Structure formats: C-alpha cells, structure tokens
C-alpha cells in the first residue's frame, strides 16, 4: 500500500504540470499515467501553439520533456490505471488495475477526454497522416488544401469555420439532413462551407496519406449513392468523452460526464479532490489551458495540506 500526500491521475499537460508544482512544493506526488501515457498530445504530430516553442515541438517530445521535468522534482510516475475510488472520507482510498491500494491526502484528477472516432480501420491507418480530431492543433498543416470535417454539432461547425480561414475548401460530412448545431453557427456554416447532408463515411484512400474519402449518401435508402471526395485532411468532430466514469459515485459531473468544478477553481464537490484539464473542460480543450489548471490544482492541494 502506498500513502501519498498528493495523488495525480493522468499524464497529459494537466497531470504533468500538477506533478511539477506538487513536486516543487515537496508533496512527493505519486502520478498514475493511465492508458495513454502523455495523453492526447501523443496523438498529434507537431504542437505549434504552446507558448515557448517558436519552431513548434513534436507532441510526444513535449510530453516526454514534461515528464522529465516532473521527475526532476521527485514525482513518482507510474504506469497503470486507477480503476476504483472511495472518496467518502479523507484520506481517500484508490485502487489500481494491479490491485494496489493507494491512500491519498489529496487527489488531482487529470484524466482528460478522448475524441470520438467513427471506428473505421482507415482512421488508424492514416492517423497523423491526414486524420485528426483537433482542427486547432493540426489545421495549420492544411493551409490552402481541401479538408472535410465529420459531425454536425457546434464543435464540428466551429472546427469547420476555423479551417475555412486556412484551407482552400472545407466540406462538412453530416449524417442527418440537418445540423444539430445552434442557429447562429448553422447560418455561418451554410454561408461558407459545403455541407454534405445525409452522408456517411465508408473509408479513406491515398498512397501518401489521405487523398480522399469514400462516402455514401442516403445510406440504406432506395436512392443510396456512393460518392468520393478528394481531400487532404479528415477531421473528426463528433464529440469527446471525458474519462471520468470511475469517479461517478463521488464526484459531481454534468450530463455529458465533465467534472463540475467551482467556478474559477479546480475544486470539486469533494474537499481535497481537484480536477484539471480536459476532464473538467468542455469548452477550450487546449494544452496550455490544461497545464494552467494543473498548476492551479497543485497549488490548491498544497494550500489544503498546509492548513
Ligand atoms: P454533439 O454531441 O453536439 O454533436 C456531435 C455531432 O456528431 C452530431 O452532429 C452527431 O450527429 C455527430 N455524430 C456523432 N456520432 C457520429 C457518427 N458515428 N457518425 C457521424 N456523425 C456522428 O457534440 P459537440 O462536440 O459538437 O458538442 C458538445 C456540446 O458542447 C454541445 O452541447 C455543444 O452545443 C457544446 N459546444 C458549444 C460550443 C459553442 O457554443 N461555441 C462549441 C462546441 C461545443 P447527429 O446529430 O446525427 O447525432
């Protein structure tokens, strides 16, 4: 059994930043990396919008650097998942997928969110070679090129509008015959973007990364029609799932699973449990925002322990 003053769950920018701050505050944090060490940034190619890297930085390299920085200040970084928690009293009890029990005086949840994918084999095949789930991260690589955004919600509209400022042509691939997005968003999109209503994606093609998508219009209807579009980039915007289910019995979440925090703080409804990064942020979902909230969570943990 491990007893720690501060347990950090997750290893994206929020988790590592929390570990750096907690380490420097001599809390000797224990950090569990989760299923995808380094988090979502390890799925992107180059990160160009994190301040301090004028030439950009490879996402994996950045997470490796953050990890080393956290280790330098004494973070005990471990592979593995937290699979069960008991936050009914402090200190808190948590269990790993290796059945190890952790007792923690404070907990920082930084488990992130996972972009939803359609589930096509081609999404994996072309991952980082034309397939992306983050227009803000990767849009810049598609300047003056043709791209498609999948989804019909507000996120898809925002991503498509963002891309329309960079790309020569943007399609939206929408499975229904309407956009689910808000009115204002819908109007903006319809002015600028070619929306392919009632289209589903069957697959992607290309010898050197994505060169096009195979679509089907009005799938299953008598007038079903197969259509190919030539594109250089395929952006998923069909929603994110925050990785918070394991905390559901104790931590207040919104209807889509994002952890609710007290406005302007990383405090949750349980004193001593903090949430940072995308697991508590349905709005911005940016590495720099996650890093900032990881810092806030560690400062809050330190203050509580010093009370
Ligand atoms: P939503 O759940 O609102 O939309 C998801 C979209 O993806 C829907 O159009 C859905 O289609 C489509 N979709 C889901 N699964 C598939 C699939 N397998 N194949 C094809 N299409 C699929 O998610 P968002 O991320 O857009 O938004 C989440 C929340 O955040 C919403 O409440 C939204 O309003 C809010 N938001 C607000 C913003 C703003 O106000 N500026 C910006 C971004 C998000 P279908 O409609 O057919 O189900």
Identify the pLDDT of residue 177.
96
Nearest residue by C-alpha to atom 17 in ligand 1: 118
Report the nearest atom of ligand 1 relative to the CA of 176: 47
Task: Out of 118, 135, 148, 155, give the residue to mutate to test ligand 1, the one with the largest number of ligand atoms within 8 Å of its CB.
Answer: 155
In angstroms, what is the span from residue 152 Cα to ligand 1's centroid?
6
Kindly list the catalytic residues: 134, 137-138
Q: What is the pLDDT of residue 49?
A: 87
The ligand 1 atom nearest the CA atom of 116: 15
Residue 35's pLDDT is 84
Q: What is the CA(112)–ligand 1 centre distance, in A? A: 18
Kindly give the distance from the C-alpha atom of residue 156 to the centroid of ligand 1, in angstroms, as a whole number. 7
Q: Residue 128: its pLDDT value, please?
A: 87
- Ligand 1 centroid to 175 CA: how many Å? 12
C-alpha to C-alpha distances, 106 to 165, 265, 274, 303, 306, nearest whole angstrom = 44, 15, 8, 11, 12
pLDDT in tens, the chain (307 residues): 899 999 999 999 999 999 999 999 999 999 999 988 888 888 666 788 899 999 999 999 999 999 999 999 999 999 999 999 999 999 999 999 999 999 999 999 999 998 899 999 999 999 989 999 989 889 999 999 999 999 999 889 989 999 999 999 999 999 999 999 999 999 999 888 999 999 999 999 999 999 999 999 999 999 999 999 999 999 999 988 999 999 999 999 999 999 999 999 999 999 999 999 999 999 898 999 999 999 999 999 999 999 9
| Residues within a 6 A CB radius of ligand 1 | 118, 150-156, 158, 175-176, 180, 238-239, 282
CA of 181 to the centre of ligand 1 (A): 7
Residue nearest to atom 4 of ligand 1 (CA): 153
Give the pLDDT confidence score for residue 271 in this predicted structure. Answer: 98
Whole-number pLDDT of residue 285: 87
Ligand 1 pocket test target in 135, 152, 197 with most atoms within 8 Å of CB: 152
pTM: 0.80
For the CA of 151, the nearest atom of ligand 1: 7
Give the per-residue pLDDT at 136. Answer: 85
């Amino acid at each position: 059994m491990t007893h720690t003053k501060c347990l950090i769950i997750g290893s994206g920018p929020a988790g590592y930043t929390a570990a750096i701050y907690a380490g420097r505050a001599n809390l000797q944090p224990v950090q569990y990396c989760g299923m995808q060490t380094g988090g979502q940034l390890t799925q992107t190619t180059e990160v160009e919008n994190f301040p301090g890297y004028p030439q950009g930085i490879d996402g994996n390299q950045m997470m490796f650097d953050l990890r080393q920085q956290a280790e330098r200040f004494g973070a005990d970084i471990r592979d593995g998942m937290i699979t069960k928690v008991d936050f009914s009293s402090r200190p808190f009890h948590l269990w790993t997928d290796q059945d190890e029990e952790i007792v923690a005086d404070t907990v920082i949840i930084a488990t992130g969110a996972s972009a939803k994918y359609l589930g096509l084999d081609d999404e994996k095949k072309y991952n980082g070679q034309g397939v992306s789930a983050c227009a803000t991260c990767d849009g810049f690589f598609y300047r003056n090129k043709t791209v498609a955004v999948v989804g019909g919600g507000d996120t898809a509209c925002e991503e498509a509008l963002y891309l329309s400022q960079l790309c020569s042509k943007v399609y939206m691939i929408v499975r229904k015959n309407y956009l689910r997005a808000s009115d204002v968003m819908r109007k903006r999109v319809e002015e600028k973007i070619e929306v392919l209503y009632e289209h589903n994606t069957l697959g992607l093609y290309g010898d050197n990364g994505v060169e096009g998508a195979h679509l089907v219009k009005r799938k299953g209807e008598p007038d079903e029609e197969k259509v190919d579009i030539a594109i250089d980039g395929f952006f998923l915007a069909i929603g994110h799932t925050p990785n918070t289910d394991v905390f559901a019995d104790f931590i207040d979440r919104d209807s889509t699973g994002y952890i609710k925090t007290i406005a302007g703080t990383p405090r949750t409804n349980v004193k001593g449990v903090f949430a940072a990064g995308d697991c508590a942020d349905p709005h911005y979902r940016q590495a720099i925002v996650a890093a900032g909230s990881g810092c806030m969570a560690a400062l809050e943990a330190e203050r509580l322990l010093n009370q």
